[in-house]
Structures are given as structure tokens and as C-alpha cells.
Amino acid sequence: MKLSQEVAAFSERLGHQFSRPELLQRALTHSSNSSPARPDNQRLEFLGDRVLGLVIAEALLADDAEAREGQLALRYNALVRKETCATVARELGLGEVLRLGRSEAMSGGRRKDALLGDAMEAVIAAVHLDAGFETARAVILRHWGPRIGRAAEDARDPKTTLQEWAQARGMAPPVYTELAREGPDHAPVFTVEARLENGEAVQARASAKRQAEQAAARALLGVLGEAGQ
């Protein structure tokens, strides 16, 4: 099987040349564009999730010999959650080569965290089946490696951190207000304000209300000089 130019370029960005390119094609096939002759990526996603988890768990242990189990668990969750997988997928341009049905493509499927995250896990499984665990580990560390060192910071939920900041100073919890919702139903953009009792406020935009709240909290922490603490 010969890969298209776009998929071959994705494989190069990924850092692995497939001896069995049909594995990559399957990893990139969403259920909306599958058929008996072209199976979807769901089984690969199941395997890739486990391969990613093992590699990240080992990497976190090696990165911090003093971290407690609870700390490691929070960092692990920050690194393997669907949003992080989707971020890596976007960096690789995975959405551009996803094989989606027409309806899913029209509804913004190439930008959805769930689809991108699932496909990224499926790609990891495809590498593992094509060339073994060590090769899959190398691919994962190539793209997740820079995140390992800052996992402790990423594990801190910004809304929780902002609430702790306010409570430590005798303030009421921050208030999050949805100021606007724009765009079509399949691709909305939310504008949310995070406001403290002392009047400090920041606005942020994202494709999901929860993400906009998180982004606003993170930005407000930056204004307060408390980011990462």
C-alpha cells in the first residue's frame, strides 16, 4: 500500500516510516468513514492508550525520584488526558489527514479534541504494532518529552489554584461568567470572564465553556503573579 503525499508527510513529522502502511491508514480512519473493507481506529485507540500510559508512567518515575504517588498520578493524568493527546495531534497536523465521513468533516471533526485525541492514541498503537514497543516509546518521548519536565505545573488545575489563592486571602471564590457564545452550533466559541472579589478580572475564549474558564483562570493567575505556584 502506497501512502498519499499528505499521509507520508505526516509519517515523517511523526518520526516513523511504516513498513506496514495499512496500520497508519487504519489509525487515521474514523468510524464515520469506515467500512468492512476499511476498519476504523477504535481497536487501535484501545491499545495506544495503554502504550502511551506505560511510557509516560516510566518517564515520570525517571524524571522525579522524589515525587509521591499522588503527585505522579496528577502529572500522569495531565500528560495522557484527551486534551493533551489532541494538542500533540494538532502539532503534527493529524487533523489534516484524518479520514472522516462527510457529515463529521462538515461538523468540524478535524478540530475536535475527542477525535484528534483518539486518533493520536491509534497512531501510537500503529507504531507499536509496526515496529515494537521501543520504537513506540521513542516516538512518544519525541513528542511528549518537552511536557514531562513541566508536568507538575500542568497538573495543577488553574481553577482550583485560583480558588485556593482567593481563599488564602480571605476572598470569596472567583466567579466565572459566560459573556458570549459565537459561531455555529458545531463549532462554537465561548468568551468567559474570571473575576475576583477584589475586582481583578480576565477574559478568555475557547471552543468549550470549561476550557474558556480554565484559560481565564490561568490568565488571571498570570496577572496575579501566581502562575505555577
The dihedral formed by the CA atoms of 129, 135, 140 and 142, expressed in degrees to the nearest 10: -150
Quick check: is 121 catalytic?
yes
Say if CB 119 and CB 30 are below 8 A apart. Answer: yes
Single-letter amino acid, residue 64: D
- Going along the chain from its start, the domains and CATH numbers come out as 5-154 (1.10.1520.10), 158-224 (3.30.160.20)
Cell of 47: 491499545
Q: Decide: helix, strand or coil at residue 228.
A: coil
Is the model's pLDDT at 203 over the cut of 80? yes
Strand order in the sheet with 175-182: 175-182, 189-195, 201-206
Longest dimension (CA), the chain: 64
From the CB of residue 106, how many other CB atoms can be counted at a distance below 10 Å?
Answer: 10
Cell of 77: 493524568
Say if CB 123 and CB 94 are below 8 A apart. Answer: yes
Res 154: pLDDT: 67
**Chain mean pLDDT for the chain:** 90
Say if CB 123 and CB 27 are below 8 A apart. Answer: yes
Quick check: is 49 catalytic?
yes
Which of 133, 123, 144 lies closest to 44 in space, CA to CA?
A: 123
Which of 42, 64, 78, 62 lies closest to 153 in space, CA to CA?
A: 78
Which among 40, 104, 121, 193 is annotated as catalytic? 121
Is the model's pLDDT at 227 over the cut of 80? no
Which among 40, 49, 104, 154 is annotated as catalytic? 49
**0.95 cut: is pTM over it?**
no
Name the least confident of 3-7, 44-48, 158-162: 158-162
d(CA 59, CA 200): 39
